[in-house]
Amino acid sequence: MTSVHSGRRAVLRAAAAGGVGAGLAMTGLAAPASAAKSGPRIAILLYDGLTALDAVGPYEVLSRVPDASVVTVAKRAGQVRTDTGVLGLVADKSMRQVRDADVLLVPGAGNRGVIAAMEDAETVEWVKRLHRRTTWTTSVCTGALILGAAGLLRGVPATTYWASRSYMESTFGAIYKPERFVESGKVVTAAGVSAGIDMALHLAAKLSGERVAQALQLAVEYDPQPPFDTGSPDKAGPELQQLALELLEAAAT
Amino acid sequence: MTSVHSGRRAVLRAAAAGGVGAGLAMTGLAAPASAAKSGPRIAILLYDGLTALDAVGPYEVLSRVPDASVVTVAKRAGQVRTDTGVLGLVADKSMRQVRDADVLLVPGAGNRGVIAAMEDAETVEWVKRLHRRTTWTTSVCTGALILGAAGLLRGVPATTYWASRSYMESTFGAIYKPERFVESGKVVTAAGVSAGIDMALHLAAKLSGERVAQALQLAVEYDPQPPFDTGSPDKAGPELQQLALELLEAAAT
């Protein structure tokens, strides 16, 4: 049997050939690795009870935008636990340490997490503060409700988790659009959970051009082939909607 | 402006109505919340340099399979950092603490992370050990190479990250299939990064039936609408393939 120890060959084809610097120089994206990153500063809000994929889907795309820097931020630096309680993510910085960003990403959560975040004055004030100077203020899923609590959605076309449409409209005066993501000025909202991946590719194109965004779609091999066709409430119908909410609630902490 | 403080209304429609227990009882999924979980025990391997979405995509689906328990496992409990270095995930248990699982999920990584994992005897032995008693042994992206290093892929139809096809075939004798995920006996391998979501929905159907899997697809609103059609190497073509690998390498630690 061939040993994996026989050589430190690159497991990703072509990664060892050509040279990254040369390739990027050809595409006009080069920056010396030792230089301070000159690209967009992206802040991802983490909070107790968040839905992991809301944050991690966009992170996986946006962290590869050339020269981008990504920082995870929570009320206090350290571990936050997700909505199911079984996964911990680490926030590297506290809100006090991050007062400015070019892109703000606010992920969603289940009932408990998003209500706590909406009702937390420090969180809402931090979102308001960053929003004043962002290039893009973005949300995924019920993260839109936190933007709403910060007063950013009144009269604004937006989307959110399918089951939170009425709440977003009646509580924050947003104009719900049943789209995968909605760009309204500098506010970009994505639909539920996995929709953050679609939104992030759109943002990558805005930040660094379509060619980079197309390459990033390949980098995360995003050629989706869901085994069912039940990913939207209309396609799923009322019985699966009810079951989906029950399954979410049953797994929630 | 309407205050979010006016009531602790559920932000997810119907979550407060009906009652979860009643709903689950109707669908035959009920279990008292206080009972020990009787469903599949799912172990997700975490290791330094992993690609976050490889783990988090499947986690988001599988953690809602009725009565499933999910545990994150690394060589030592505590934080691991992802391939970009900018995100930390927390492993709750060490390999010594988790000697058995019904479902093992092995995520992928970039060159550095996956080579280190393949060459780490404790990791490879742990994968071998768990595989003996799993119902499903699964991988996402270059996680297949770790299954390969554990000797699980010789002569086995499998998939991996598009850029690792040759390595997987030549080093471990797997039979590469250009599919989103490949089920070979109890070994299920997914293609790159985001393909883990598709695989997890397939596994959810195997574990708990198609109706539950369909509801979970809605729960994560997985109705993908990628802004481009460049998610596979064939669709992207050689220039975007090269750029994708350069962007991955540029963002890697």
Span B42-56, average pLDDT: 98
Give the tens place of pLDDT for each residue, A1-23.
444 544 456 788 754 444 333 33
Q: What is the CATH number of the domain that holds B120?
A: 3.40.50.880
The reported pTM is 0.91
pLDDT above 80: residue B14: no
Q: For B175-195, what is the mean pLDDT?
A: 98
Position A186 in a domain: yes
What confidence score (pLDDT) does residue A12 get?
Answer: 83
pLDDT band at B12 (very low <50, low <70, confident <90, very high): confident
pLDDT in tens, B84-109: 999 999 999 999 999 999 999 999 99
pLDDT category at A30 given cuts 50, 70, 90 is very low
* Whether pLDDT at B20 is above 50: no
> Given this model, what pLDDT does residue A29 score?
44
CB B34 within 8 Å of CB A62: no
The proportion of chain A whose per-residue pLDDT surpasses 90, expressed as a percent, equals 85
Residue B13 pLDDT > 90, yes or no? no
Q: How far apart are CA B51 and CA B30, in angstroms?
A: 34
User: Picking from A4-13, A86-95, B1-10, which range would have the lowest pLDDT averaged per residue?
Assistant: B1-10
Greater model confidence, B24 or A65: A65
Confidence check: pLDDT of B23 > 70: no
A105's CB contacts (< 8 A; 6+ apart) are A42, A43, A44, A45, A55, A58, A59, A62, A138, A139, A140, A143, A196
Q: Helices (DSSP H) in A31-142: which residue ranges? A: 52-62, 111-118, 121-133
Q: What is the pLDDT at residue A13? A: 74
User: How far is residue B252's CA from residue A143's CA, in Å, rounded to a whole number?
Assistant: 28
Is the residue at B4 inside a domain?
no
Asked if A53 lies within 8 A of B220 by C-beta distance, the reply is yes
pLDDT band at B150 (very low <50, low <70, confident <90, very high): very high
Residue A26 has pLDDT above 50, yes or no: no
* Closest to B164 (Cα-Cα) out of A16, A62, A23: A16
Which residue among the candidates A101, A124, A140, A141 is catalytic per the annotation?
Answer: A141
Is residue A1 situated within a structural domain?
Answer: no
More confident residue, A38 or A51: A51
**Is residue B6 over pLDDT 80?**
no
Q: Is B6 inside a domain boundary?
A: no
pLDDT tens sequence across A48-89? 999 999 999 999 999 999 999 999 999 999 999 999 999 999
- With a cut of 60, say whether residue B15 has pLDDT above it: no
Mean pLDDT taken over chain A: 91
Interchain CB contacts (distance < 8 Å): A and B: 378
Residue type for position A88:
G
Contact B20 A250 (CB under 8 A): yes
Q: How many CB atoms lie within 10 A of CB A41?
A: 18
Number of domains making up chain A: 1
Residue A8 lies in a domain: no
Average pLDDT value for residue range B200-220: 98
Over residues B156-184, the pLDDT tens digits come to 999 999 999 999 999 999 999 999 999 99
Per-residue pLDDT tens for B215-235? 999 999 999 999 999 999 999
Whole-number pLDDT of residue A164:
97
Is the residue at A17 inside a domain? no
CA distance B152 to B95: 19
Which of B149, B221, B230 lies nearest to residue A231, judging by beta carbons? B221
Q: What mean pLDDT do residues A211-224 have?
A: 98
- CA distance linking residue B196 with residue B180, whole number of Å: 9
A113 in any annotated domain = yes
Which of A54, A228, A229, A241 to mutate against chain B (most B CBs within 10 Å)? Answer: A228
- What b/e string do you get for B17-27 counting C-beta neighbours within 10 Å, with b at 16 or more? eeebbebbeeb
Residue A32 pLDDT greater than 50, yes or no: no
Of A27, A111, A154, the CB nearest to B11: A111
Given CB atoms, is A24 within the 8 Å cutoff of chain B?
yes
Element holding A137 (H helix, E strand): strand A136-140
Is A69 inside a domain boundary? yes
Q: Which domain holds residue B97?
A: 37-223+234-251
